[in-house]
Amino acid sequence: MITISNVQKSFNKTEVLKDISIDIQDGEIFGIIGQSGAGKSTLLRCINGLESYDGGTITVGNNVVDIKDKKKLRSLQKKMGMIFQGFNLLERLDVYQNIALPMKFWGIPTTTPAAKEKITKLIKLVGLEEKVHSKPRELSGGQKQRVAIARALVLDPEILLCDEATSALDPEITKGILALLQEINKELGITIVVVTHQMEVVKQICQRVAFLSKGKVLAVGRPEKLFVWPKEQEIRDFLREESDKLPSDGVNLKLFFYGEGNQRPIVTQMSQELHTDFNICWAKLEDFREDVYGSLVLNMDEKDLERACAFLDSKDVTWEVIK
Ligand SMILES: Nc1ncnc2c1ncn2[C@@H]1O[C@H](COP(=O)(O)OP(=O)(O)OP(=O)(O)O)[C@@H](O)[C@H]1O
Ligand SMILES: [Mg+2]
């Protein structure tokens, strides 16, 4: 659906996107995560032509995104709804009018029965039936974001681009917005790209994610693959995981559990079989969409390490010695 090939971009001679290549599939919820300044928003803005790029190509469907070709760009932009952290709602317009705004912009009549039906349906989808005639100042942050989402959907886009759509919201409201995005993806079949620095967002809804660092793609893959057992030091630093809390003597061995593995009494079995005690010094269970992934760190004597690893291998448990 979206193909980004070797894209480069500089601002005032500083390269902010360096040879970025990402393929986003039709119907996918794709995440772009990374530290502040990594280039996430810039990349998103390049996808919908709000920003130009200097090298490489971006295609949406089969069309190249080229900001010089204004006419083609406009019709491409029509296919892409966008939502921002700041909502960007017009204060003097009510909920209904804000949602109808893109239709006005495109010269589509907003008072026909078909238009009214569509807007009313969207208001229902985002759960704002009671607020149809409220002004943005009368809404909570979560409600404002719901208006922004409905507005982004009013032209029947194929793609929804979200830039930090939940960053300003509290965790409970964030959950609701993420559930809504999932529903939109499932029910309407819309491809969704979410730019975020929130792990929770990626874990809850993204099927795949790209980790951006200093304008480069560090890794792309399923969130559980990338974040349960990150190989890249930068991703570990980003997650700020267990490493600074572990004992400095002995060895620390990290175990990973997926799905069914969560239910096996591996550690107690290992302790009994090897006639040794282990100190459990760190553990975590995480939800990734429907699945639960767990990891825990055991501290042990150096002399027990080899036997422990052999035991874990025999039980097909993934492990890693933490340096
Ligand atoms: N219009 C601009 N002019 C000059 N530099 C810019 C412009 N927009 C972004 N930059 C620079 O490009 C780099 C990437 O910015 P970008 O906004 O894409 O980062 P980000 O990953 O979205 O960060 P955040 O998580 O803080 O939103 C930053 O160093 C930023 O200062
Ligand atoms: Mg940003």
Which ligand 1 atom is nearest residue 43's CA? 18
Residue 222 forms beta bridges with which residues?
none
- d(C-alpha 323, C-alpha 58), whole Å: 40
Closest CA to 75 of 1, 158, 181, 192: 158
Least distant ligand from the CA of 16: 1
What is the distance between the alpha carbons of residues 41 and 275, in angstroms, rounded to a whole number?
A: 54
pLDDT at residue 242 in the model? 63
Confidence of residue 243 (pLDDT cuts 50, 70, 90): low
**Paired tokens of 312:** 């874990």
Report whether residue 196 contacts ligand 1, using a CB cutoff of 6 Å.
no
% of the chain with per-residue pLDDT over 70: 97
Residue 197 CA: nearest ligand 1 atom is 25
Mean pLDDT of 205-222: 94
Q: What is the DSSP letter of 312?
A: H
pTM of the model: 0.86
Tell me if 291 sits within 8 A of 224, measured CB to CB. yes
**Are both 2-231 and 241-322 of the same fold?**
no
CATH homologous superfamily of 241-322: ACT domain (3.30.70.260)
Residue 231 banded pLDDT, cuts 50, 70, 90: confident
Question: Residue 42: CB within 6 Å of ligand 1?
Answer: yes
- Give the pairing type, strands 251-258 and 318-322: antiparallel
In tens, the pLDDT along 182-208 reads 999 999 999 999 999 888 899 899 999
Q: How far is the CA of 37 from the centre of ligand 1 (A)?
A: 5
CB contact at 8 A, 271 and 277: yes
Residue 43 CA from chain centroid, whole number: 14
CB 86 near ligand 1, within 6 Å: no
Protein residues within 5 Å, CB atom, of ion ligand 2: 41
Q: What is the pLDDT of residues 174-183, one digit of tens each?
A: 998 999 999 9
What number does the ligand 1 atom closest to the CA of 45 have?
Answer: 18
CB of 40 closer than 6 angstroms to any ligand 1 atom = yes
DSSP β-ladder status, 279-288 and 291-300: antiparallel
Can you tell me the distance from the alpha carbon of 13 to that of 272, in angstroms, rounded to the nearest whole number? 62
How many angstroms separate the alpha carbon of residue 37 from the centre of ligand 2? 7
Q: 56 CB contacts (<8 Å, ≥6 apart)?
A: 4, 5, 6, 7, 8, 19, 20, 21
pLDDT at 134 over 80: yes
Instruction: Return the best residue to mutate from 7, 10, 16, 85 for the ligand 1 pocket (most ligand atoms within 8 A of CB).
Output: 16
Please, which residues have CB within 8 angstroms of residue 200's CB and are 6 or more apart in sequence?
Answer: 171, 174
Does the domain made of 2-231 have the CATH classification 3.40.50.300? yes
- Nearest residue by C-alpha to atom 16 in ligand 1: 39
Please tell me the distance between residue 50's alpha carbon and the centre of ligand 2 in angstroms.
Answer: 14
Domain boundaries, the chain: 2-231, 241-322
Residue 79 has pLDDT above 70, yes or no: yes
Angle ∠(67,73,78) on CA atoms, nearest 5: 140
Does ligand 1 lie within 6 Å of residue 37's CB atom?
A: yes
- pLDDT at 28 (0 to 100): 96
